[in-house]
Structure formats: structure tokens, C-alpha cells
Amino acid sequence: MRYDEYRAHDAVGLARLVAEKQVHPTELLEVALARCAQVDPGLNAISLLMEQAGRARAAGPLDGPFAGVPFLVKDLLQDFAGYPTASGTRPLQAIPAESHSLIVRRWLDSGLVIFGKTTTPEFGIKAFTETSTYGATRNPWHLGRTPGGSSGGSAAAVAAGVVPMAGGNDGGGSIRIPAAWSGLFGLKPGRGLLPCGPGGGDYLHGLATEGVLSRSVRDTAAMLDVLAGPDPGARYYHARPDHVFTEAVRQSPRRLRIAVAYESPIGSAVHDEAIRAVEQTAALLEQLGHHIDYAAPEFDGRQLAFDFATVWMAHAAVTLDRTRQLTGASECEFDFDTRALAAAGRAVPAHELVAAYERWNDYTRALAALHADHDLMLTPTVAEPPPRVGRTATPAAIELLTGPLLGLGAGRVLTRNRVFREFLFANMTSVPFTPLANITGRPAMSVPLYRTPDGLPLGSQFVGAPGSEYLLLQLAAELEAARPWAQLEPPEPEPAHGQVRIAR
């Protein structure tokens, strides 16, 4: 099979070719590996190439709806037995997972051929995939730009045509942000729909969920049918939905009432291109017969940002300390941003953490009030076109001034320091729209309907009420049919320095 033939099919299409014996899984894998060798030195999307495991699996008997389709998992939470889940950090690179995570088992049961892991920022704590361990991951649409994060490697690999779909997870926008900046479809399922065990339970107090990034809506729909269903060991029981998600892409949605909000919930600037992306999406919705209102949920956005950051800081502290206990690594072996967040997180008093978590109820009820009158809310996914690589790096002056404090364990100083708090806030200005769906546990998606005048993708976000994944998929399929995007391809990357870690 030639690459252009491979790229012309989504995952569902490739699985059909395998089922009809028009192509063998080993052929598909070889095309994927060749494409990876061609583009990844410039993209840095793959953190670990599991070539031997992929070839062995492709050669063996396979069954399931995605039998024979090449696939990449994210190097965070998605454990593959015998291979490390490095989570973007050097200390975990040499520790193999003892067993598959539940989501990986379901992927394998579906017949996917997993042959590698994709890059992520350290512990997935940033919206930009740049680490001291793996370097910067680059956007196939412009190598000087970021694909976002934390599922940035998956987004870059899918956009560049290495695989039609790849694993991701989303704790504050980590599926939707890179989808928006990489020209992909990204759906964050609602809380509890997909399993996340057995190594963890309610990741980030329920902020995080597993998922995929894809070029086609039907791939994501078919993947929800594979993944949805209860985890017997989870804290909460979430029954498998009665409906079949793949049916959603064949059914037009009813005429919907959609609230449109342009303004950043934290009061920061929104780029004109991000506004145009939503304006064009709203105009298309009206052409399709949907009703548009201009409305937003009422809550204190800056307080939401700090309540969100409080939980992230506490989580960073627990994750860093657990990793050090497991590996014996010293604090200085981790990225500065991770160490700063962890230091602040260790100093968060228990009552402040609980208060921040309890205020999530206020934001959830504000969004529920909006959904009482509207089926969905439409916003920009991100507040600007993809930033340049390195733009969000911690300024050297801040690292120089703050570094000694970290060594002294002065996390309390950080949490009370206005400059540090404003620095945390500033890092959310590019991505202020996505955390609300995580805090409230609502399903949300980014749809790639817009390109800037210089050709950069910029997605629009829809946030639904609980259990609205089926409706979101219906609307996404309608938008995809009205303004197709899967055939759009980024320019071929030029050769660049970089390497892929290969596990033989």
C-alpha cells in the first residue's frame, strides 16, 4: 500500500480494508513506520517506538472493529505492559509497566496494532508539549508552532498522517487544545463514561478522562463504542449507554438552540482569529437551521482559574513525590515548572484545597443553568492561533529568582506570591475556555472548521450537558459533511534534527 492510499482512509476505513482482505495489517504497519521515520525527526511526536511489539501483533491473528489498524498511545496513564510509561520525565524512562491499563486492554481487544507512545509535557501538566527530557514537539502545519498539549504528540502524529487516530487524555483541555491547533476532531467524554484504571481512580479529582484525537468524527464515535462501559474496580458505576455511538454519525441532529460566548472567562484577551473561527461556525450553524443566542454561564472566571490551578498544584506535588519514591530521583531531575507547581502544591492548606474543590459546584450549577435553556454552548477552543515553540517557557529571570526558594522548600511563599500567582494565570490566557468542561464533568468537543489566513488550524468548542456525547457527535458529523476537513493536509515537513527512542 502506498502512503497516499493509507492517508486517504480513516481508521474505520482501514479496518474495513483489512476485514475484506484487501490489505494485511503488516502492510499498514510498514506504511505507518515509514511515515514515522520520514516526519518524526522534524516533529518529535513519538517518545517511544515499540517496533518489535507492533510487528509481532500485526503478524498474529487479530479480531475486533479496528483489527489491523496502526495506533499510538499517549505516554501518560496509558500503560502498555513491559514498556515504560515515562509521562514526559526522565526518571520514569527505565521502569516498565507491570500490566496494561484498562483502556489499553480495550484498545488491544478492538484489534488495534499499537506500535509506539507519543510525547507529552512532564506529567501532562502544561498545554504545550515541551520538556527538558524530550524537547519540543512541533506542529505539522508550521514547524515553528506548537501543536499544544498535553496530547501534543498524538495530535502531531495524526495530523502528519502517521496514524489516523491516536490516544489522548484530557484534564484541562489536553485533547481539545491540540485538536484545535492541529486541525483535528477532539472529543472529551463526560466524567465516568470511559475507564481510567486500574492504576488510578478519579484522576485529578475527576478532571481527567481518556479519549482519542482523530481526523474523522466516525472514528471517534466508533472508539467510544469500544471504550465506553463500566470498570468493575472504579469508585463509581457508569453503565454502558443504551445507544450505539456510531449511529450518531448517520443521524442528523434535531434543530438545536446554541449559546455562543466569545469572551474569555478569565477576562484575558481573545485573538481576532479565534473570534472569527466562532463567528464562521455560528454562521454555518444558522445555515443548517440551528438557533443561535449570545449567552454565557455566570460565574467568577478568575476564581475558577485559581480553583483549577489549586487542584493541579496539589496533584503535581503528589505525582512528583510519588515518582521520587519510586525511582529515587532527586528533585533537580524534573522540569522547573513541575518543581514550582509541586512546591506550591505541598504548601496548599487542606482547607483551601477542599474549599477550591467545593466551589466546583458553583461553576457546575452555572453551566447547568445555561443548559436549561440551550442544548449546547459554543466558544473558541483556544484564545489564539498556535503559539510559537518556546514562547510559553518559564522566563529565565523567574527561574533564577524562584529556584533557590524551591530548594528551601518555601512553597508557602510561592502560593502567597502575587507574581507567581499572576504567572500561573498568564499561562492560562491561551487556553481559558477548556477547563470549565473538566471542572463540571461535561462532555465537550473541538471541531476543526477554520483556518487562519496563513493556513493555521483553529478549532471551535462545543460544551454539552451530561450525557450529550451522542448529540455532540451528531452535530459534529453534520458540520463535517457541510464543511469537510479530513482531506486537508499540512505541508510535508522539512528534515530536521531529532530522534525517536526505539525499544527493540
- Give pLDDT tens digits for 314-363: 999 999 999 999 999 999 999 999 998 999 899 899 999 999 999 999 99
Confidence of residue 401 (pLDDT cuts 50, 70, 90): low
- How does strand 130-131 pair with strand 135-136? antiparallel
Question: For residue 272, what are the contacts with CB-CB under 8 A and spacing of at least 6?
Answer: none
Pick the closest to residue 215 from 157, 159, 270 (CA basis).
159
Only one residue has cell 515548572, namely 337
Q: What does the pLDDT read at residue 414?
A: 58
Q: Is position 317 within any domain?
A: no
Q: How confident is the model at residue 397 (pLDDT cuts 50, 70, 90)?
A: low
Give the CA diameter of the chain: 64
Q: What is the average pLDDT value for the chain, to the nearest integer?
A: 93
- The pLDDT value recorded for residue 394 is 72
Give the residue ranges of DSSP H helices in 441-486: 469-482
Task: Name the percent of the chain lying above pLDDT 90.
Answer: 84
What predicted TM-score, i.e. pTM, was given to this entire model?
0.95
Res 474 pLDDT > 80: yes
Q: Looking at the domain assignment, is residue 143 inside a domain?
A: yes
User: How many domains does the chain contain in total?
Assistant: 1
Query: 98-112, 225-239, 282-296: lowest mean pLDDT where?
Result: 225-239
pLDDT for 32: 98
- Tell whether 310 is covered by a domain: no
Question: 27 lies in a domain?
Answer: yes
Q: Is residue 100 domain-resident?
A: yes
pLDDT bucket at 497, cuts 50 / 70 / 90: very low
Mean pLDDT of 70-92: 98
Instruction: Look at the alpha carbons of 189, 192, 198, 202 in this order and tell me if their dihedral is positive or negative.
Output: positive
Q: Could you count the other beta carbons within 10 Å of the beta carbon of residue 292?
A: 17
Residue of 280, 287, 277, 279 whose CA lies nearest to 255: 287
In a domain, 503, yes or no: no
Residue 380: pLDDT over 60: yes
Name the nearest CA neighbour of 379 among 323, 433, 321.
433
| CATH number (domain holding residue 195) | 3.90.1300.10
Report the percentage of the chain scoring pLDDT > 70.
92
Digit-coded pLDDT (tens) for 193-212: 998 888 887 889 999 999 99
Task: Kindly list the catalytic residues.
Answer: 74, 150, 174
Look up residue 111 and give its three cell numbers.
484489534
Which residues are registered as beta bridge partners of 451?
457
| 3-state SS, residue 476 | helix
Confidence band of 393 (pLDDT split at 50, 70, 90): confident
User: Does any domain span residue 488?
Assistant: no
Return the pLDDT at 499. Answer: 46
The answer to whether residue 322 sits within a structural domain is no
Question: Which domain covers residue 34, as residue numbers?
Answer: 3-299+376-382+430-482
Contact (CB, 8 A) for 130 and 386: no
